[in-house]
């Protein structure tokens, strides 16, 4: 592990700032995936196999446009800059990430290899694997709001260039390498929360207009479970069957 030391005055303690990250262990037989002209890395966490990067597939639309049900995968990039999609992945409405088919969890994940959008249940399993206090199946994972002890921190990348300070609890122990890609609000088509928050969709719908998601914050080591309107645009990870 590499550190840089900073100090303000001679009588103050120096503060270590982590400047590298853990890439984790790749999934056996599939260390990388070439999808849509981009290379994604895999990471094995418990019995699950995840992509290490947020999905970044499709054609960028301006935030004033609507992602449509057509033959083209479409995405938003924070502040309408392709460089932000390269860094954080695309931002997708729920219908777009599901490829406008509610019942097929593959969505816009790679069509081969058994990849799919993680369900609410998939996220609960990951949380239980990572958290130091609450195991898989604990009732805490069924609740809404901030839950658990430190699973959120264990998911987050650690570098000061990745998240706002203080990035509470960031350890990236297993290489999940979550980055704060922010949100695109459907009400006024604006972007917000980059560098502070990672919003990650699930494939699980609740009611007629909402779907479950997970939220990681620079100010929390735990992880939030909630649901929101499917028109909001969040980041997406893929998990293998």
Q: What is the DSSP string of 188-217?
A: T--EE-TTTEEEEEEEEEETTTEEEEEEEE
DSSP category for residue 140: G
Residue-level pLDDT, tens digit, the chain, 241 residues = 333 333 333 333 334 444 457 899 999 999 999 999 999 999 999 999 999 999 999 999 999 999 999 999 999 999 999 999 999 999 999 999 999 999 899 999 999 999 999 999 999 999 999 999 999 999 999 999 999 999 999 999 998 788 999 999 999 999 999 999 999 999 999 999 999 999 999 999 999 999 999 999 999 999 999 999 999 999 999 999 9
Buried (b) or exposed (e) across 92-104, using 16+ Cβ within 10 A?
A: bbbbbbbbbeeee
User: What is the domain range of residue 233?
Assistant: 3-240
What is the reported pTM? 0.91
User: How many angstroms separate the CA atoms of 150 and 131, rounded?
Assistant: 5
Q: How many distinct structural domains can be found in the chain?
A: 1
């Amino acid at each position: 592990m590499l550190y840089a030391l900073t100090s303000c005055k001679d009588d103050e303690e120096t503060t270590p700032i982590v400047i590298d990250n853990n890439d984790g262990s790749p999934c056996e037989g599939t260390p990388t995936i070439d999808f849509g002209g981009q290379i994604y890395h895999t990471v094995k966490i418990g019995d699950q196999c995840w992509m290490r990067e947020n999905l970044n597939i499709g054609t960028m639309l301006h935030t004033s446009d609507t992602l449509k049900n057509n033959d083209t995968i479409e995405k938003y990039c924070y502040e309408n800059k392709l460089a932000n999609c390269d860094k954080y992945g695309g931002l997708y409405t729920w219908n777009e990430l599901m490829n406008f088919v509610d019942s097929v969890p593959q969505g816009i994940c790679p069509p081969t290899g058994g990849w799919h959008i993680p369900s609410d249940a998939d996220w609960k399993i990951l949380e239980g694997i990572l958290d130091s206090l609450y195991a898989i199946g604990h009732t805490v994972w069924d609740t809404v709001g901030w839950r658990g002890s430190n699973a959120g921190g264990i998911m987050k990348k650690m570098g000061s260039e990745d998240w706002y300070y203080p990035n509470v609890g960031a350890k990236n122990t297993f290489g999940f390498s979550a980055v704060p890609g922010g949100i695109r609000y459907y009400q006024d088509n604006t972007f917000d929360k980059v560098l502070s928050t990672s919003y990650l969709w699930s494939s699980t719908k609740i009611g007629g207009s909402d779907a479950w998601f997970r939220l990681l914050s620079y100010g929390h080591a735990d992880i939030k479970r909630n649901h929101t309107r499917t028109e909001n645009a969040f980041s997406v990870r893929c998990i293998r069957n």
